Amino acid sequence: MIEHSEKVQSLTKTEKNDALIIVYTEVIDYVEMSGEIKYGDKEEIVELVNQSIKNLDRNPKIEFSEEYLIGKLVNVLNDDKKTEKMISDLSEIMIGKSFSTFFGGKELVEIFQTMRPALMKLYAETSVEEVYEWFEK
């Protein structure tokens, strides 16, 4: 199925990695939440993977779920302008001054963006229940 997905074939290496994490987490989350899939139920897992890939084909962009902060940060840090705005918003909150890369400061944006791979790893390795406990309790 994945080799037949036009969307997946047209992605960059980074986007393919993002897509892999999204498919993986969707399948794992479903398995953990539903409890319907038994160990060794290969056909059901393959069907879940195929459904997740079809979902990728329907969406115009590869994006992580923004229900919680981790996914939102992964998406923001993938875009220079959104990262700059986030830094400016933080700066306004913390020191009352805005931030812009108009006269420099691109290095700070790049430093923030270095967190993205670690956040993606955390996104993939953390269950929905754990994230819920972090932000909802």
Q: Going residue by residue through the chain, which has 137 residues, state the pLDDT in tens, using 9 for 90 and above.
A: 555 667 777 888 888 888 888 888 888 887 777 777 777 777 888 888 888 888 777 777 788 989 899 999 999 999 999 999 999 999 999 999 999 999 999 999 999 999 999 999 999 898 888 988 998 86
Query: Structural domain tally of the chain?
Result: 1
Cβ atoms of 28 and 21 within 8 Å: the answer is no
Q: Is residue 85 part of a domain?
A: no
Cβ atoms of 30 and 128 within 8 Å: the answer is no
33: exposed, middle or buried (C-beta count within 10 Å: 0-12, 13-18, 19+)? Answer: exposed
Whole domain around residue 54: which residue ranges? Answer: 1-62
Q: Is residue 57 part of a domain?
A: yes
Q: What is the pTM of this model?
A: 0.74
Q: Is residue 54 part of a domain?
A: yes
Q: Is residue 12 part of a domain?
A: yes
